[in-house]
Amino acid sequence: MFSKFINAFFYGNIYLGICAVALCIETNLLSGISLNVFPFYFLIFLCTIVYYTMIYARSVRVKNFNERAGWYSKYLSQIKTALRVAIVLTVPSLIFLLAVNLHRILSLSLVQLLLISAFPIAAAWYTFTPKALKLIKIRQIGWIKPFIVGLTWAGWVTIYPIIIWQVQKNESFDAPFVPLLVLYIQNFLFFSINAIIFDIKDYRTDSYYQLKTYPVIFGVKNTIRFIVLPLTLINLVAFFIFQRQQNFSHLQTSIQLIPYVLLVIIILRYREGRSVLYYLAAVDGLVFLKAFCGITSVLLIKK
């Protein structure tokens, strides 16, 4: 029973939904603004679950070499039912919030409106493209897809909380632009690195389908040595720049640094043959840990 719950929690993307909410809260606190209202976080949670469940449910018949695909194949009927329930909850909630805040949304600047639109479009283009458009799914362009994942996740949990906060509070965000940009870059790199590590995990499947990801092109060791580690170092530079801009204390910085240190350790201790559940629990675990450390450093530690 416990193993079934664990599988549903991770494979069913409930964990990812929780991570998305936690990261949005982290952004609010790191940026020095109050929290968004509950419906926003509820929608972030549901949309994350719906999006990833649709991806894996659609690809269940594609030959794969991991246990998550087997789990989706085994429980596909129940998963589709749960997906329908999630969509039924998501769509009316989204329509209601848009209707209630429509006049404030329309008062946003053109740049803000473009940002709100850009990230869902990028996420949709990543894996869902109408045949009539004759576009290649970004997911099929191996060398760019981890960076689209990073761009979309960073926008989802960095840009959205702040813009929607403006809409819901009917207030302007007066903080300097540069720290927000650095925070976005920091999150973008963190999620991109995370996605490349998952490409390493999917090396066998991607090789089978000749998907030119970095591990397939350069090999696993070279990907770690010449792509993952340099990006991690750049990520750390962005991290320390943001810390200095926000004037966090040494203790706050040390707490927020924990997931980045663990990320380096996981990279350096990489071994072949790890299960998908390991990556979901350990590697994606760093995503939640990042949010937890950021939230803790602001709420419990004074500058």
Tokens 């990489």 belong to residue: 270
CA distance 107 to 111: 11
Residue 228 and residue 197 in contact, taking contact as beta carbons nearer than 8 Å: yes
CA distance 258 to 263: 9
pLDDT for res 64: 62
Residue 31 and residue 176 in contact, taking contact as beta carbons nearer than 8 Å: no
Q: Tell me the pLDDT tens digit for each residue of 142-192.
A: 889 999 999 999 999 999 999 999 888 877 766 667 888 999 999 999 999
CA distance 170 to 266: 43
Lowest mean pLDDT among 58-62, 114-118, 244-248: 58-62
pLDDT for res 63: 62
Q: How many CB atoms lie within 10 A of CB 19?
A: 24
Q: Does residue 276 surpass a pLDDT of 80?
A: no
Q: Tell me the pLDDT tens digit for each residue of 49-104.
A: 999 999 888 777 666 666 787 888 888 899 999 999 999 999 988 888 888 888 88
